[in-house]
């Protein structure tokens, strides 16, 4: 996760406050005439104001996240709402300037970024903003306070999420799944419907057809063409997903029997180790191939044996980027970051990467433990920091990833390089302990249970919302459309019948919180594309999943060429700078998992496929 000057998190959390303030400036008429010179001046003013404000806003957010109390909550809320006030004001004005003919490419680009910066815009008519704020706050709070039940007793969101990963009793899984979806989703159905119509009105004010079009307009291409691009990517990876689905369904049938999971048709959504069936890694033990499931070493144990503490783990992460030729992290990174959980106060432990001054005040915020997962997370978070530093010479409005899939993909692609050979190179693993090739299937299957299983889910959340915002999915068909998409793309079905009194989309955080989701789908695909490019540049000729480009300065230089562009150019330019290609592609992911696909096809022989 990343926290930037224009923070997606802040946007997600603060749109509730925004509309109320927007109302104070109802017409938001540009003060100057609509000329290209006035547009240039407006952009300069907006960029300066937003850039200046982002620094104290980041400071307030940092201190709030690392020292939670009533005072820092109040500071954070105040900076949030003031920041959103600015964003709303400039978005509405930018929409008017954007139509002027003859704008310079930079001014046109920045006007679009300004216009596109709010995910759920309120219309300017009296009352609408307050109503939207009320609805969104109510839904977010309801989600946060939501509870399901386990053994008839209430259980909160994070606990029920964890329990879905470890519980193996199908009756209990069903109880948790149904209670969560009934208690959290269903009550917000009316609010969601109302929110859709108000936010759509706001999108029209900004010059978009509807909110879905606004969301799809952030990709330097026609919104309809972008939707087709996501379909193309999906078609590339779909056979891989289908093979995994076939294999996992068979294993679940073996475990639970026909009465719980039949040999054909969709997989019961509550059996996959996750409330939303979005990542299946939690049930890896149920599907692990005999003998190949155990890698023969545990990164966490290796770290402990070699005397690593959390700071030393972060130093190792820094070492990876240094090996590519990136400068060491600034001294302030080490004194200002939260690397471990403070003993004496409340903090947000969820890992994130920050740039406090839009220059080089880089930090991470983690509650690092000495284990393999956190070792990977460190490499991921530092990817955000090196991206932030690489583009820090860009103007404020360009301080972001090339598109919203890029930022998450950078850290993930570097983390893919944490192979056994890399662990040998940094002295963690003995050469003799490097797992033989027969362990590769287990390694790949474990990865696929999370990364491949996620793809259809990453795609369908916004497929549903695009349909809802455009009106092709009607309010009286919300639930049916959701379940139809879940069936079509994921091949999963709810454990019990659902009807239109339910609202299962509301039981997933990003829906009530109004956070677009396609970025996560893109990031999953892009990370393999980046990895493939790096490995080719490094001259790697073996199986893709065994490649590490540690120590390769040529890869580092190419990567830097992409990173330093930030959001200043259309994303195909950035992609080309690193990979040589102007198109996002799922082929690298297919290549990475090719040995697994071959193995799955063998296992699946003669078994029913599809649903």
User: Which region among 1-9, 106-114, 436-444, 539-547 touches Zn ion (by CB under 5 A)?
Assistant: 1-9
Nearest to 195 by CA among 603, 432, 437, 513: 513
Closer to Zn ion by Cβ: residue 224 or 348:
348
- Please report whether residue 1 would count as binding Zn ion according to CB under 5 A: yes
Closer to Zn ion by Cβ: residue 93 or 404:
404
Nearest to 95 by CA among 14, 17, 16, 30: 30
Q: Rounded to an integer, what distance in angstroms lies between the CA atom of residue 18 and that of residue 327?
A: 39
3-state secondary structure of 352: strand
Q: How far is the CB of 408 from Zn ion (least distance, A)?
A: 5
Closer to Zn ion by Cβ: residue 9 or 484:
9
Q: How far is CA 487 from CA 171, 211, 258, 277, 586, in A?
A: 22, 25, 19, 12, 22
Binding mask of the shown chain, residues 11 to 50, with x at each position contacting Zn ion by CB under 5 A: ----------------------------------------
Q: How far is the CB of 381 from Zn ion (least distance, A)?
A: 6
Closer to Zn ion by Cβ: residue 97 or 391:
391
Q: Tokens for 416, please give them.
A: 């893919």
Q: Rounded to an integer, what distance in angstroms lies between the CA atom of residue 530 and that of residue 584?
A: 10
Q: Assign residue 127 a region: left if phi > 0, alpha if psi is -120 to 50, beta otherwise?
A: left
Q: How far is the CB of 380 from Zn ion (least distance, A)?
A: 6
Closer to Zn ion by Cβ: residue 15 or 387:
387
Closer to Zn ion by Cβ: residue 516 or 595:
516
Helix (H) or strand (E) holding 3: strand 2-3
- Please report whether residue 347 would count as binding Zn ion according to CB under 5 A: no
Half-sphere exposure of 274 (CA within 13 A, CB side): 17
Q: How far is the CB of 383 from Zn ion (least distance, A)?
A: 8
Site residues for Zn ion, 476-535, by CB under 5 A, read none
Binding mask of the shown chain, residues 392 to 411, with x at each position contacting Zn ion by CB under 5 A: ----------------x---
Task: Please give the residue whose beta carbon sits closest to Zn ion in the complex.
Answer: 1
For 305-328, b/e burial (b = at least 16 CB within 10 A) is eeebebeebbbbbbebbebbebee
What lies within 8 Å, CB to CB, of 307 at 6+ separation is none
Closer to Zn ion by Cβ: residue 223 or 458:
458
Q: How far is the CB of 352 from Zn ion (least distance, A)?
A: 7
Q: How far is the CB of 377 from Zn ion (least distance, A)?
A: 9
Residue 149's DSSP bridge partners are 154
Length of the chain: 611
The label of the residue with tokens 């195909």 reads 572
3-state secondary structure of 149: strand
- Please report whether residue 434 would count as binding Zn ion according to CB under 5 A: no
C-alpha Rg value of the chain to the nearest Å: 24
Q: How far is CA 107 from CA 104, 213, 333, 568, 569, in A?
A: 5, 21, 34, 11, 12
Helix (H) or strand (E) holding 212: helix 211-216
For Zn ion (CB under 5 A), the number of binding residues is 2
Q: Rounded to an integer, what distance in angstroms lies between the CA atom of residue 452 and that of residue 466?
A: 23
Q: How far is CA 304 from CA 247, 294, 296, in A?
A: 36, 19, 16
* Distance, CA of 103 to chain centre: 33
Closer to Zn ion by Cβ: residue 364 or 449:
364
3-state SS of the chain: helix, strand, coil percent to 5?
Answer: 60, 5, 35
Q: How far is the CB of 490 from Zn ion (least distance, A)?
A: 24
Q: Rounded to an integer, what distance in angstroms lies between the CA atom of residue 431 and that of residue 426?
A: 11
Q: Rounded to an integer, what distance in angstroms lies between the CA atom of residue 134 and that of residue 112?
A: 28
Q: How far is the CB of 165 from Zn ion (least distance, A)?
A: 21
Closer to Zn ion by Cβ: residue 1 or 204:
1
Q: How far is CA 105 from CA 51, 101, 108, 335, in A?
A: 20, 11, 5, 41
Q: How far is the CB of 415 from Zn ion (least distance, A)?
A: 10
Closer to Zn ion by Cβ: residue 355 or 408:
408
Site residues for Zn ion, 182-201, by CB under 5 A, read none
Closer to Zn ion by Cβ: residue 97 or 520:
520
Is residue 369 a contact partner of residue 529, using CB atoms and an 8 Å limit?
Answer: no
Q: DSSP secondary-structure letter at 292?
A: T
Is residue 122 a contact partner of residue 116, using CB atoms and an 8 Å limit?
Answer: no
For the annotated catalytic residues, the residue numbers are 350-351, 380-381, 384, 408, 510, 520
Q: DSSP secondary-structure letter at 362?
A: E
Q: How far is the CB of 407 from Zn ion (least distance, A)?
A: 7
Q: How far is the CB of 109 from Zn ion (least distance, A)?
A: 25
Q: Which residues bind Zn ion (CB under 5 A)?
A: 1, 408
């Amino acid at each position: 996760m990343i926290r930037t000057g224009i923070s997606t998190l802040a946007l997600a959390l603060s749109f509730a406050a925004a509309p109320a303030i927007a109302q104070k400036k109802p017409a938001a008429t540009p003060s100057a005439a609509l000329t290209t010179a006035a547009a240039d001046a407006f952009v300069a003013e907006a960029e300066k104001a937003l850039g200046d404000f982002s620094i104290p806003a980041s400071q307030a957010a940092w201190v709030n996240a690392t020292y939670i109390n009533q005072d820092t909550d109040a500071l954070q809320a105040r900076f949030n709402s003031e920041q959103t006030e600015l964003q709303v004001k400039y978005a509405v004005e930018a929409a008017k300037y954007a139509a002027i003919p003859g704008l310079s490419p930079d001014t046109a680009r920045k006007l679009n970024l300004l216009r596109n910066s709010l995910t759920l815009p309120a219309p300017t008519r009296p009352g609408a903003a307050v109503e939207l704020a009320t609805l969104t706050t109510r839904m977010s709070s309801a989600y946060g306070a939501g509870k399901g039940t386990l053994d008839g007793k209430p259980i909160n969101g994070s606990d029920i999420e964890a329990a879905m990963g470890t519980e193996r009793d199908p009756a209990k899984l069903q109880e948790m799944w149904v209670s969560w979806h009934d208690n959290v989703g269903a009550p917000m159905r009316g609010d969601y419907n109302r929110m859709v119509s108000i936010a759509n009105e706001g999108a029209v004010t900004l010059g978009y057809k509807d909110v879905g079009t606004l969301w799809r307009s952030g990709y330097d291409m026609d919104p309809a063409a972008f939707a087709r691009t996501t379909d193309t990517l999906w078609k590339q990876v779909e056979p891989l997903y289908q093979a995994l689905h076939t294999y996992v369904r068979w294993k679940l049938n073996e475990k639970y029997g026909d009465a719980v999971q039949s040999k054909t048709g969709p997989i019961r959504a509550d059996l996959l180790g996750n409330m939303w069936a979005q990542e299946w890694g939690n049930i890896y033990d149920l599907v692990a191939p005999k003998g190949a499931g155990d890698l023969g070493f545990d990164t966490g144990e290796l770290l402990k044996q070699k005397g690593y503490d959390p700071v030393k783990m972060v130093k190792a992460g820094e070492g990876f980027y240094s090996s590519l030729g990136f400068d060491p992290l600034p001294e302030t990174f080490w004194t200002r970051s939260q690397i471990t959980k403070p003993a004496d106060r409340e903090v947000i432990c969820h890992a994130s990467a920050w740039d406090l001054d839009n220059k080089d005040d880089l930090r991470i915020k983690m509650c690092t433990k000495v284990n393999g997962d956190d070792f990977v997370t460190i490499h991921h978070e530092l990817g955000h920091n090196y991206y932030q530093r690489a583009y820090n010479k860009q103007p404020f409005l360009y301080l972001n990833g090339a598109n919203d899939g890029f930022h998450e993909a950078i850290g993930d692609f570097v983390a893919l390089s944490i192979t056994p050979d890399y662990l040998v190179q940094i002295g963690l693993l003995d050469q003799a302990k490097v797992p033989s090739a027969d362990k590769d299937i287990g390694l790949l299957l474990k990865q696929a249970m999370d990364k491949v299983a996620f793809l259809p889910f990453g795609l369908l959340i916004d497929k549903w919302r695009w349909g809802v915002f455009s009106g092709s999915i009607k309010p009286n068909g919300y639930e049916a459309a959701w379940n139809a998409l879940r069936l079509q793309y994921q091949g999963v079905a709810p454990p019990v019948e659902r009807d239109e009194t339910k609202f299962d989309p509301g039981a997933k955080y990003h829906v009530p919180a109004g956070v677009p989701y396609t970025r996560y789908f893109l990031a999953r695909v892009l990370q393999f594309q980046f990895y493939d490019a790096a490995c080719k540049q490094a001259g790697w000729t073996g199986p893709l999943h065994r490649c590490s480009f540690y120590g390769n300065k040529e890869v580092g230089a190419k990567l830097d060429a992409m990173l330093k562009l930030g959001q200043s150019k259309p994303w195909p330019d950035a992609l080309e700078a690193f990979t040589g290609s102007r198109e996002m592609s799922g082929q690298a992911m297919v290549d990475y998992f090719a040995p697994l696909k071959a193995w799955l096809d063998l296992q699946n022989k003669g078994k029913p496929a599809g649903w």
